[in-house]
C-alpha cells in the first residue's frame, strides 16, 4: 500500500496541473490569504478554415473556468503583463456564431445567472497570446491596490448598478429607434426596386400594399367587431328559420274531403326570395 501511494504521488507530481487537452492551466487566487488555487484553462482561439469569426485570429485568447468573482476588469488586469489588452468579453458559453455580433445593450439584456463563464481576451499584438499561455502564476484577483468587492459590499454595489439612469436609457432608445427606422426604410426601398423585376428563374415578386396602413386593433374596436358578428349570426339564424318554415309549409298535404281521392295537388306557391325573408326577419324583430 505504501509503495502504491508513493507511485501515485510521484505520477501526480510528474504530470503537474491537470488540464483539458490543448489547454494551458493558470493558477488564480482570490487574495493572498487563500491557500487553494483556482485554475483558468486557456488556449489560442481558432476556427476552421473557410469560416468567419467575430474575434481576430492569432490575437484572441479563449479562457475557460472563469469564476464568478473574476470580472472583465480583473481579467484585463491579470493578463495585462502579457501585453496590451484591447477587449475582454465574458459569456455563459462559447460563441458558435460565425457572423459578427451586434453590440449588446446595457439596459435590455437579461440578467446573467451567476456561475462559471468563458472569456474572449483580445490582445493588441499576437505576442500577448503566447505570453499568456506561458504564465505560471498564481495570479491574485483582489489586491490592496485593486480590491474586489465581496459579500454585503458586493450586494450593495450590484443594487446601485441596477438603478437605471433615465438620460442614458433615453439616449440608447433613441439610437436604437434611429437605426431601426433606417433599416425599415432600406428594406422598403429594396422591395420597391425588386417589385416587378423578374429574378434569374423568371419569377416576379408581388407584394400586397393597402391604401391605408393597418392600425392596431383596440379593445373598443374588438368589441364592435364582436357585436357585428353577433348580429350577423342572429340574422342568419332567423333567415334559416323562415326558410325552414316555408319548406315545411310546402311539404304539408292539403286537407281533402272524405269523398275525394287523396291525390296531392300541385303546389303553385311562389317561394320567398331572400329580400322577402330579410324583410320578414326585420318585421318580426320589430314586433
Under 8 Å CB-to-CB from 142, ≥6 apart: which residues?
A: 30, 31, 148, 150
Give the DSSP H or E segment for 159.
Answer: helix 152-162
Per-residue pLDDT at 185 exceeds 80: yes
Q: What pLDDT does 5 receive? A: 43
- pLDDT digits 0-9 by tens, 56-93: 888 999 999 998 888 888 899 999 999 999 999 888 88
pLDDT tens digits for range 29-57: 888 888 888 899 999 988 877 677 788 88
- Rounded Cα distance between 71 and 66, Å, is 9
Phi-psi region of 165 (alpha: psi -120 to 50; beta: other; left: phi over 0): beta
CA distances to 10, 11, 12, 15, 18 from 4, in Å: 10, 11, 12, 17, 20
H or E, element range at 133: helix 127-133
CA distance 257 to 224: 57
What confidence tens digit (pLDDT) does each residue in 108-151 have?
Answer: 666 666 788 999 999 999 899 999 999 887 888 888 888 888 77
Helix%, strand%, coil% for the chain, nearest 5 = 40, 15, 45
Find out whether 116 and 65 touch, Cβ atoms under 8 Å.
yes
Amino acid at each position: 500500500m505504501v509503495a502504491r501511494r508513493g507511485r501515485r504521488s510521484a505520477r501526480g507530481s510528474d504530470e503537474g496541473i491537470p488540464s483539458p487537452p490543448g489547454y494551458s492551466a493558470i493558477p488564480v487566487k482570490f487574495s493572498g490569504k487563500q491557500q487553494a488555487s483556482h485554475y483558468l484553462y486557456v488556449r489560442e482561439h481558432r476556427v476552421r478554415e473557410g469560416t468567419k469569426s467575430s474575434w481576430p485570429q492569432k490575437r484572441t485568447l479563449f479562457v475557460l473556468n472563469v469564476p464568478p468573482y473574476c470580472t472583465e476588469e480583473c481579467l484585463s488586469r491579470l493578463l495585462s503583463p502579457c501585453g496590451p489588452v484591447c477587449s475582454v468579453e465574458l459569456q455563459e458559453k462559447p460563441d458558435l456564431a460565425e457572423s459578427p455580433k451586434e453590440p449588446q445593450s446595457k439596459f435590455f439584456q437579461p440578467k446573467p445567472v451567476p456561475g462559471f463563464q468563458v472569456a474572449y481576451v483580445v490582445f493588441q499584438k499576437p505576442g500577448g497570446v503566447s505570453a499568456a499561455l506561458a504564465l505560471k502564476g498564481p495570479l491574485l484577483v483582489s489586491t490592496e491596490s485593486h480590491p474586489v468587492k465581496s459579500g454585503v459590499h458586493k450586494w450593495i454595489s450590484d443594487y446601485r448598478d441596477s438603478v437605471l439612469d433615465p438620460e442614458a436609457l433615453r439616449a440608447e432608445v433613441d439610437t436604437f429607434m434611429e437605426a431601426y427606422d433606417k433599416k425599415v426604410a432600406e428594406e422598403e426601398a429594396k422591395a420597391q426596386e425588386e417589385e416587378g423585376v423578374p429574378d434569374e428563374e423568371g419569377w416576379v415578386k408581388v407584394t400586397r400594399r393597402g391604401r391605408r396602413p393597418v392600425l392596431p386593433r383596440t379593445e373598443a374596436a374588438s368589441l364592435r367587431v364582436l357585436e357585428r358578428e353577433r348580429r350577423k349570426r342572429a340574422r342568419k339564424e332567423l333567415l334559416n328559420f323562415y326558410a325552414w318554415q316555408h319548406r315545411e309549409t310546402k311539404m304539408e298535404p292539403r286537407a281533402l274531403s272524405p269523398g275525394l281521392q287523396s291525390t296531392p295537388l300541385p303546389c303553385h306557391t311562389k317561394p320567398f326570395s331572400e329580400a322577402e325573408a330579410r324583410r320578414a326577419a326585420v318585421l318580426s324583430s320589430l314586433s
